[in-house]
Amino acid sequence: MKKNYIAANWKMNLTRSKAVELAKDIREAVKDGKNKYMIAPSFTLIQDVAEVLKGSNILLGAQNMCAEEQGAFTGEVSPLQLLDLGVQVVILGHSERRHIFKETNELINSKVKMALAHKIEVILCVGELLEEREAGKAVAVCEEQIRKGLDGVSEKDMENITIAYEPVWAIGTGKTASPEDADEIHAEIRRVLKDMYGEEIAKNTYIQYGGSMKPTNAEALLAKENIDGGLIGGAGLKAETFAPICKF
């Protein structure tokens, strides 16, 4: 059976001492866990958190990355700089990047390919806005984000791709998609992956759910056939709320 892949996206929270404390608490709480784990701190916290996670069963992630290796890109962080800190995973296409910072599918696709070229694993986030869901467009939006986001990604590189389905209306709002609704979209995502890459790759690709996942709803979500993990914001900021999700 596939493990679950449980990832914490700390977003723009914490300073170094608090981040180290939290990383230590999580490391301790999940040290015997059998699932796949990841923590993505802000860029400024990565070096300190890397020290804590060294030798643990938790991967080190980043929340974004530039699509270029180096040069005149003020304020950006390159894949080479992330690798230099020991980063193994990058979250790309998060809805906050898409909607607040206006990242397009095309830009996200170049970031995806750049990360893969450097053997950095990718969590590619997709998900619909509330008005898109109400207009019956949830599947179409996710399908377009996947097809464009993975354009030019080879079958071989798919082993380094995870998809996170994060309905935008559920992120940080306390509202969660019901396990049935989430599973339905996850099944559609798997259908798209099957169409693009065949049955085997579609089956093996992790599809995480994100959007107010917490200890009280995680078990029911993770029990669903097509939900292989979680990308967790708010509940990832405390070991007491993150660790229980890690055990399912």
Catalytic residues: 94, 166
Nearest to 91 by CA among 38, 22, 139, 35: 38
Which residue, 115 or 123, is less far from ligand PGA as judged by CB? 123
Strands 36-40 and 229-232: unpaired
| Structure letter (DSSP) for residue 213 | -
* Number of residues that make up the chain: 248
Does residue 210 bind ligand PGA (CB under 6 A)? yes
Q: Is 76 helix (H, G, I), strand (E, B) or coil?
A: coil
* Segment interacting with ligand PGA (CB under 6 A) among 43-51, 62-70, 177-185, 229-237: 229-237
Q: How far is the CB of 70 from ligand PGA (least distance, A)?
A: 28
Which residue, 179 or 194, is less far from ligand PGA as judged by CB? 179
Does residue 171 bind ligand PGA (CB under 6 A)? yes
DSSP states of 150-207: TTT--TGGGGGEEEEE--GGGTTTS----HHHHHHHHHHHHHHHHHHH-HHHHHHS-E
* Segment interacting with ligand PGA (CB under 6 A) among 56-64, 115-123, 154-162, 206-214: 206-214
Does residue 234 bind ligand PGA (CB under 6 A)? yes
Alpha-helical regions (H) of the chain: 16-29, 46-53, 79-84, 95-99, 105-117, 130-134, 138-149, 179-197, 199-204, 215-222, 239-246
Does residue 61 bind ligand PGA (CB under 6 A)? no
Instruction: Say how many residues touch ligand PGA, by CB under 6 A.
Output: 13
Which residue, 3 or 99, is less far from ligand PGA as judged by CB? 99
Residue nearest to ligand PGA (CB): 233
Does residue 231 bind ligand PGA (CB under 6 A)? yes
Strands 89-92 and 58-62: parallel
Which residue, 35 or 95, is less far from ligand PGA as judged by CB? 95
Does residue 42 bind ligand PGA (CB under 6 A)? no
* Segment interacting with ligand PGA (CB under 6 A) among 27-35, 127-135, 165-173, 221-229: 165-173
CA distances for 121 relative to 99, 177, 217, angstroms = 23, 26, 27
Does residue 166 bind ligand PGA (CB under 6 A)? yes
Rounded CA-CA distance 200/107 in Å is 28
The one among 42, 109, 212, 217 contacting ligand PGA by CB under 6 A? 212
Q: Is 112 helix (H, G, I), strand (E, B) or coil?
A: helix
Which residue, 108 or 231, is less far from ligand PGA as judged by CB? 231
For ligand PGA, the binding residues (CB under 6 A) are 9, 166, 171-172, 210-213, 231-235
